[in-house]
Amino acid sequence: MKKLLLVAVAGAILPGMACAQSSVTLYGYLGGGVRWTNGLKGGSSVAFNNNILAGNRFGISGEEDLGGGIKAIFKLENAFNSGTGALKNTGVLFSQAAYVGFNGEYGRLTFGRQVSSNEYFSILIDPLNGQGQTLAVAPNALYYFNYFTYDTRFNNTISYLGRVGGLRYGASYSPGGVAGNTRAGTNVSFMTLYQWSGGLAGFGYQKQWNAAATQWAETFQGGGSLVFGSARVFLSYADLNVSASTAGAPNRHDQMPGVGIVYLPTPAIQLTAALYYDRATHLANAKQGDGHKLTTYAVAEYYLSKRTEIYAEADFNGLSGAYRSDALNIAALGIRSGTYSTTGFSIGFMSRF
């Protein structure tokens, strides 16, 4: 009888011990509002604001202590439209993250759909923390996303992140999986930065090939941020080269400096502003494809609680030269060909869990 009692007690205790060594977290962002935009095909519009600052998403992350300072980790994150309930990426359930791996004293190694190392660095030097949902407020996405698929995440990616004191470094590789062609659909990336009390500075690099290995896109980025009292100031510089798919055509080349600030005058108020100036030559790999684009935005957020806020946002994009007819830019902003500028205003409500 005593043995049976001991077995019963052990059976009740051991599952609890296993749970104590692991954890699973459910989290998410949910918001919406109203957005007015001009310069569009047909004029101006009033539309639903699908949380332009952070997007709508929910995720599940977890870790399990394997002993020896090593943990097994995973993350699944979905993005969706709160106005319609539709997936952000059609046919992709976990568009923001779907990876598994290990984390420990010697760094983090992950496998699956995730950001590249260069994109990881880009997020750290972005005033919106890489969460802007349109090129109207995130023109720097051009320098870290998948240029040939317009995706902000990379499939089938192997990523490593390490840290020694204030030095952080990482590399990632996305194999294309095409027999007989080691370049087709691949992406290779690395980054390094140094972080100290109140600041960070570093650089990132990325090169990717299209599905047929007939074109490549290469990005160099540098920048950092520094705290001044209640404000954090951001500086960045990005350089993009895209090869032509036809012989004799020139490479596209973009150079984009940026500056931004996040200021907290009170614990309940956050003010964010940024400016980017993109100087492009040979847009669409055309010999007469030179153009400039100025992007600026300002955001005011008021926190009703630690998890709930209301916000107002304004953005402006000014275009010149070939940028007024660039197909990629027109599609991303939804503007009409030939327009000189587009302006947007958004108000919204967002809650986190």
What tokens appear for 177 in the block? 């999986």
155 located within any domain: yes
9 located within any domain: no
End-to-end CA distance of the chain: 48
**CA pair distance 114, 120, nearest whole angstrom:** 10
Task: Tally the domains of the chain.
Answer: 1
Written as one letter, the residue type at 322 is A
In this prediction the pTM is: 0.90
Amino acid 21: pLDDT: 82
Q: Residue 75: which CATH number?
A: 2.40.160.10
CA-nearest of 38, 35, 51 to 309 is 51
Phi-psi region of 142 (alpha: psi -120 to 50; beta: other; left: phi over 0): alpha
10 located within any domain: no
- Token look-up 């919204």 returns 348
Cβ-based neighbour number of residue 326 at 10 Å: 22
Amino acid 15: pLDDT: 46
Q: What is the pLDDT along the chain (353 residues), one digit of tens a residue?
A: 333 333 343 344 344 444 448 999 999 999 999 999 999 988 999 999 999 999 999 999 999 999 999 999 999 999 999 999 999 999 999 999 999 999 999 999 999 999 999 999 999 999 999 999 999 999 999 999 999 999 999 999 999 999 999 999 999 999 999 999 999 999 999 999 999 999 999 999 999 999 999 999 999 999 999 999 999 999 999 999 999 988 889 999 999 999 999 999 999 999 999 999 999 999 999 999 999 999 999 999 999 999 999 999 999 999 999 999 999 899 999 999 999 999 999 999 999 99
302 located within any domain: yes
CB distance 330 to 337 below 8 Å: yes
CA-nearest of 200, 206, 253 to 223 is 200
- Give the range of the structural domain holding residue 314, as residue numbers without chain letter: 26-352
62 located within any domain: yes
Amino acid 242: pLDDT: 97
